[in-house]
Structure 1
Amino acid sequence: MSEKSTTLVKKITKQFGIKAAAQKRIRGGIYRIVTPNGRKFSLKRMTNQPARMRWMDRMLIRVQRKGPLLAWRNPQKPEGRKPHAISRNGEIFVLTPWISGREPSPLSLADMRACGRALAKFHKAGETALKGGISQSQIGQWYSKLHKRQHYLQKMMAKASANRFSVPINRFIQQHGPKILRYANQAEAMLRSSGYDSYRKNPRKYGVLCHGDGGPSNFILNNKGTYLIDFETLHVDLRAYDLYRVIYNSCKDYRWNFSIAKAILDGYREVTKLKKMDYKLMRAWLRFPFTTFLVVSPFKRIPFTKDRLQWALDNEQRISSFLQKLEEYEKRH
Structure 2
Amino acid sequence: MTDRTIARLAQAFHIRVKSMRIVKSGVYRLETEGGRAYALKHMRYPVRRILWMDRTLRRVRKNGFAGICWRDPRQIGGKPLFVRLRGKKATYILTPWIQGRQPSPDSSDDLRACAAALARFHLAGRRAAIPRQGALDLTGRWPAILKARLSLIRKYVSKAKTAGNGNELDVWLRKNGDDLLGRGEQALGLLERSPYRRLCRVSSRSRVLCHGDSGPKNFVFTGDDPKLIDFETLRLDLRAYDLYRLIRLACKHRGWSFAAAKAVLEGYGGVSKLEPGELRLVLAWLLFPNKAYKILSRSGKTNAKGRRALTDELRSAAAADLRLPSFLREWDDYAREGGKT
Give yes or no for TM over 0.5: yes
Q: CA deviation at 1:224?
A: 5.7
Aligned to 1:244: 244
Unaligned runs of 5+ in 2: none
In the alignment, which residue of structure 2 is the partner of 1:161? 161
- Which of 300, 307, 312 in structure 2 is aligned with 1:307? 312
Q: What is the aligned partner in structure 1 of residue 273 from structure 2?
A: 273
Matched residue type, 2:237: D
User: Which string of whole-angstrom CA distances, capped at 9 and with x for unpartnered residues, describes residues 228-255 of structure 1?
Assistant: 1000000011110110011112222332
Structure 1 residues 164 and 17: alpha-carbon distance in aligned structure 2, compared to 1, 3 A threshold: farther
1:101 paired to 2:117: no
Q: Deviations over 1:191-244 (max 9, x none)?
A: 000021222334334641110011121111121620110000000111101100
Aligned length: 330
C-alpha spacing 1:146/1:57, structure 2 compared with 1 (3 Å): same
Letter in 1 for 2:15: I
* Secondary structure of 1:25's aligned partner: strand
Alignment of 1:285-300 (within 5 A): 285-298=285-298
Take 1:81 and 1:302, find their aligned partners in 2: how far apart are those partners?
Answer: 46
Contact 1:71 1:228 in 2 (8 A): yes
Q: TM-score, normalised by structure 2?
A: 0.90
Paired position in structure 1 for 2:71: 73
Q: Report deviation, 1:15.
A: 1.0
The answer for the alignment partner of 2:4 in structure 1 is 7
Q: Which amino acid aligns with 1:107?
A: D
Instruction: Specify the alignment match of 2:332 in structure 1.
Output: 327
1:23 maps to 2:20: yes
- Answer yes or no: is the 8 Å Cα contact 2:168–2:308 preserved in 1: no
Deviation at 1:290, TM superposition (A): 1.2
- 237-246 or 317-326: bigger deviation: 317-326
Coordinate RMSD, CA, aligned: 2.3
Q: Is the 8 A contact 2:130 2:207 kept in 1?
A: no
Aligned partner of residue 327 in structure 2, secondary structure: helix
- What is the DSSP-based 3-state SS (H/G/I as helix, E as strand, rest coil) of the residue aligned with 2:159? helix
Map of 2:261 onto structure 1: 261
Go from structure 1 to structure 2 and tell me whether the alpha carbon gap of 1:206 and 1:274 turns closer, same or farther (over 3 Å shift). farther
- TM-score scaled by length of structure 1: 0.92
AA aligned opposite 2:270: E
Instruction: Check whether the contact 2:196–2:281 (CA below 8 A) recurs between aligned residues.
Output: yes
Structure-2 separation of matches of 1:302 and 1:275: 43
On the 8 A contact 2:212/2:235 being kept in 1, the answer is yes
Unaligned 5+ segments in structure 1 are none
3-state SS, counterpart of residue 67 of structure 1: coil
The question of 1:34 aligning with 2:22 is answered no
Q: Secondary structure at the match of 1:214?
A: coil
In structure 1, the partner of 2:146 is: 146
1:51 to 2:48 alignment: yes
Q: Distance in 2 between matches of 1:87 and 1:310?
A: 44
Q: 1:21 to 1:215 in 2, by over 3 A?
A: same
Partner secondary structure for residue 140 of structure 2: helix
Question: Is contact 2:292–2:317 with CA below 8 Å preserved after alignment?
Answer: yes
* Residue of structure 2 equivalent to 1:83: 81
1:317 is displaced (CA, Å) by 4.4
CA shift for structure 1 position 322 = 1.6
The AA in structure 2 aligned to 1:26 is V
Q: Give percent identity, aligned residues only.
A: 35
| C-alpha distance in structure 2 between counterparts of 1:305 and 1:60, whole Å | 37
Q: Residue 77 and residue 292 in structure 1: after superposition, are their counterparts in 2 closer, same or farther (change >3 A)?
A: same
Deviation sequence 1:40-74 (CA, Å, 0-9, x none): 11111111110010000001111122133111001
Runs of 4+ in 1 over 6 A off after TM superposition: 299-303
Report if aligned partners of 1:130, 1:209 keep a CA contact under 8 Å in 2: no
AA at the equivalent of 2:116: R
Give how far 1:21 is off. 1.2
User: Retained in 2: the 8 A contact 1:212–1:241?
Assistant: yes
Q: Match for residue 127 of structure 2?
A: 128
Following the alignment from structure 2 to structure 1, what is the Cα–Cα distance between the partners of residues 283 and 210?
18
Distance (Å, rounded) in 2 between the aligned partners of 1:290 and 1:186: 13
Q: d(CA) in 1 for partners of 2:188 and 2:25?
A: 35
Question: What SS does structure 1 have at the residue aligned with 2:15?
Answer: coil
